[in-house]
Amino acid sequence: MRISPLVAGLIGGFSAALLQAFFKVSPPPAYGICIACHTRDLVNWIVNAISGSTLFVAPVSKVFPVLTVVGIFVGAFIAANVHKEFKIKQTHNPIVGFVLGVLVVIFALLMGGCPLRETIRTAYGDVIALISLIAMFAGVIVASEVYLKRNA
Task: Report if residue 49 touches other proteins, rule: CB under 8 A.
Answer: no
> What does residue 136 show for φ and ψ, rounded to 5 degrees?
-65, -40
Tell me how far the alpha carbon of residue 76 is from its chain's centroid.
Answer: 14
Task: Report if residue 1 touches other proteins, rule: CB under 8 A.
Answer: yes
Task: Report if residue 84 touches other proteins, rule: CB under 8 A.
Answer: no
The residue within the footprint of other proteins, chosen from 50, 52, 87, 150 (CB under 8 A), is 87
Interface positions, 56-75, toward other proteins (CB under 8 A): 56-61, 63-75
Cβ 49 to other proteins, closest distance in Å? 14
User: Interhelix angle for 68-82 vs 35-51, to 10°?
Assistant: 120
Whether 28 and 115 have beta carbons less than 8 Å apart is answered as: no
Cβ 52 to other proteins, closest distance in Å? 15
Whether 28 and 58 have beta carbons less than 8 Å apart is answered as: yes
| Amino acid at residue number 31 | Y
Task: Report if residue 95 touches other proteins, rule: CB under 8 A.
Answer: yes
Cβ 54 to other proteins, closest distance in Å? 10
